[in-house]
Chain A
Amino acid sequence: GAVVSQHPSRVICKSGTSVKIECRSLDFQATTMFWYRQFPKKSLMLMATSNEGSKATYEQGVEKDKFLINHASLTLSTLTVTSAHPEDSSFYICSASRQDRATYEQYFGPGTRLTVT
């Protein structure tokens, strides 16, 4: 079945540094990828929709200059948390849309836990 990977699975960084998270669709091409963040016991929050070859669409309240999204190819989207602060510590999940057949399917990555110290 289709697989989406995220790298790294866990990362600890110091306040003020930047962190890049990769989301890859391993055996299909994904024209659209979604980025979410989640706090413990809370629901997922959609951050942005990433379309290959175009600028990401950010949800209201999400700082596009802080959370840089690049979807340079049909199998890779990256989320860069710039100048990270402790409040950016969270669980980040990506998902990828597969639409190369008659049906539309969605696959989720395993998530990346970011801790900013």
Chain B
Amino acid sequence: AQSVTQLDSHVSVSEGTPVLLRCNYSSSYSPSLFWYVQHPNKGLQLLLKYTSAATLVKGINGFEAEFKKSETSFHLTKPSAHMSDAAEYFCVVEDNNDMRFGAGTRLTVKP
């Protein structure tokens, strides 16, 4: 069975500095990987997804993630954080019609 580990429960950055949210996964097959963002009292919003095409995936709001099979990682990055990026981020792996969520990483952006 697959699993997802988000390595940091909380990340704090200053506005304008890079963002790195880490995600490692385990999977027996060829997984699909997703990053979602959630703002308080709102539903999940898809940032980007990997489904066996290009390993570097570009998403909305300047986010991107790179699928590294050798490292079983799918880290989310953004070159320059904005105040509006403050939210909870979830890494999700789907494999063989089963889905697993990471525990989430709360991103705080300081002015």
Instruction: Name A residues whose Cβ lies closer than 8 Å to a Cβ of B.
Output: 32, 34, 36, 38, 40-41, 43-44, 46, 49, 59, 91, 93, 95, 97, 99, 103-106, 108, 111, 113
Contacts and interface: CB of A to CB of B under 8 A. Distances in A.
| Majority SS at the chain B contact face | strand
Interface of B: 32, 34, 36, 38, 40-41, 43-44, 46, 49, 51, 88, 90, 92, 94, 97, 99, 101, 104, 106
A91 B99 contact: yes
Given A41-B51, A43-B46, A106 B88 contact: yes
Nearest to A46: B43
A36 B32 contact: no
Nearest to B31: A41
- The dominant DSSP class at the A interface is strand
Given A32-B41, A104-B41, A104-B88, 8 more contacts: A41-B94, A43-B49, A44-B44, A46-B43, A46-B44, A97-B41, A103-B106, A104-B40
